[in-house]
Amino acid sequence: PEPEPEPEPEPEPEPEDDTEAGLPDGGGEADCDGASSLGVRTPFHLVAYGSVFDVATPAGSDDAVSVTGLDFLTYQTSTMSYQLFGRDGSLDDGALGTGMGDWVLISSGTVKGMGSTTYTSLPPLETPAIVPGNGGTISFYLTLNRKAMFLANPAYLADSSPLEDDNLVIDMAGGKASQTQAPFGGTYQDAAFR
């Protein structure tokens, strides 16, 4: 007789509150040439379709930064489609109100979500996103085909100041969570990578 196939795992239910135990140390990471990975830990979270956030170089530093990859947490451990967009300038420049016209698709494909305690990594970017030196800023928009991105609620961050090292500044509390499935429209909520 043939062995019976293993049943598909049941999808994880959405959280009912804003707390989660057993969070990893560190936070969402941007893999950058010449820069450290930076992150923040918080027990308060949001689940969203995507996140829009800024990456900038420090004012006064002529060094550009090459962003070659991105790690993030998911609420589910299943395969999901993603799209990563980029746009010159900051979210404060009205980036979400511009529609798709000002955004460039950087990468798309599928990844297997690793859950809320192990980072999911996008495949390395074929063409790195270059953040110009001397305070240059790029807005990134990472979106998924399901409500599965695990983000922090910045209202509960102990220190909402930007994380930075000599080469890179990430405004962890300055992002937005996409609460609707289609990118570039709908409802956004303050959020931060974890």
Confidence (pLDDT) at 91: 77
Could you list the pLDDT tens digit for every one of the 194 residues in the chain? 666 666 555 544 444 333 232 222 333 334 443 333 334 444 457 788 888 888 888 888 888 888 888 888 888 899 999 999 988 888 777 656 656 677 889 999 999 999 988 989 999 999 889 888 888 888 888 889 988 887 766 665 554 444 555 555 554 445 766 766 666 666 666 555 55
What is the CATH T-level fold of the domain 46-191, as seen in this structure? Jelly Rolls (2.60.120)
CB 116 within 8 A of CB 194: no
The domain locations on the chain are 46-191
Cβ neighbour number for residue 152 with a 10 Å cutoff: 28
CA distance 71 to 183: 19
State the amino acid at position 153 in one-letter form: N
CA distance 148 to 113: 8
Confidence (pLDDT) at 78: 93
Cβ neighbours for 5, distance < 8 A, ≥ 6 positions apart: none
Confidence (pLDDT) at 110: 96
Confidence (pLDDT) at 83: 93
